């Protein structure tokens, strides 16, 4: 079996997980910033993985799901956010490759419908989609579909 788990280090890690999923690297970095040594940190990480309290694949899937529908963002923005948080690049690329272009198109329409009326301001809609990180080359089609041309 593994080495003993430092109770203070474990308690700190569990507090981090209380509010939302965290990536393994996020927990490792935060624990190091709190002054814990690498040995206890690794023991806690292994313990949390064995208990399935940390699962980078699940965290990525949950983040992708939370950034869809009304809160949709583009793939590039989602990729950047996950990588900045320390998600494993290979898993991020694997999961994002499963998102179809039609899925992105539907996400843009859902985001527009949550914020705008079909006869609203098309320019504001374009800026909104750009700010959400959707690909510029696909925005025009979504705008045409959502904002009905007179």
Convert the pLDDT of each residue in 95-114 to its tens digit: 998 887 788 898 999 999 98
Roughly what angle, to the nearest 10 degrees, separates helices 101-115 and 122-131? 120
Is 60 exceeded by the pLDDT of residue 118?
yes
Whole-Å CA distances, 46 to 26, 34, 51, 122, 123: 14, 18, 9, 50, 50
- Number of Cβ within 10 Å of residue 127's Cβ equals 12
- Could you tell me if 36 and 12 are in contact, meaning their C-beta atoms sit under 8 angstroms apart? yes
Which three-class secondary structure state does DSSP give residue 50? helix
Q: What is the pLDDT at residue 1?
A: 44
pTM over 0.75: yes
- pLDDT of residue 62 exceeding 70, the answer is yes
Can you give the residue ranges of every domain in the chain?
1-54, 55-150
Residues 76 and 135 sit within 8 Å (Cβ to Cβ): yes
- Are 72 and 111 spatial neighbours (Cβ–Cβ below 8 Å)? yes
**DSSP class of residue 116?**
-
Tens digit of each residue's pLDDT (9 = 90 or more) over 67-88: 887 788 988 899 999 999 999 9
Degrees to nearest 5, angle at CA 40 with 36 and 43: 145
Directed axis angle between helix 75-84 and helix 89-97, to 10°? 160
In this prediction, residues 108-135 reach a mean pLDDT of 91
Contacts (Cβ under 8 Å, ≥6 apart) of 5: 40, 43, 44, 47
| CATH class of the domain at 1-54 | mainly alpha
What pLDDT, on the 0 to 100 scale, is given for residue 4? 85
């Amino acid at each position: 079996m593994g080495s003993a788990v430092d109770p203070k280090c474990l308690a700190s890690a569990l507090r981090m997980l209380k509010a939302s999923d965290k990536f393994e690297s996020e927990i490792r970095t935060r624990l190091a910033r709190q002054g814990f040594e690498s040995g206890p940190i690794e023991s806690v990480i292994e313990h949390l993985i064995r208990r399935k309290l940390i699962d980078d694949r699940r965290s990525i899937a949950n983040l992708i799901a939370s950034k869809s529908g009304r809160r949709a963002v583009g793939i590039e923005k989602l990729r950047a956010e996950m990588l900045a948080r320390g998600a494993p690049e290979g898993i991020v690329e694997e999961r994002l490759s499963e998102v179809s272009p039609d899925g992105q198109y539907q996400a843009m329409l859902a985001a527009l419908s949550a914020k705008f009326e079909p006869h609203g301001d098309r320019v504001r809609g374009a800026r909104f989609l750009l700010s959400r990180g959707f690909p510029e080359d696909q925005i025009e089609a979504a705008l045409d579909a959502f904002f009905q041309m007179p």
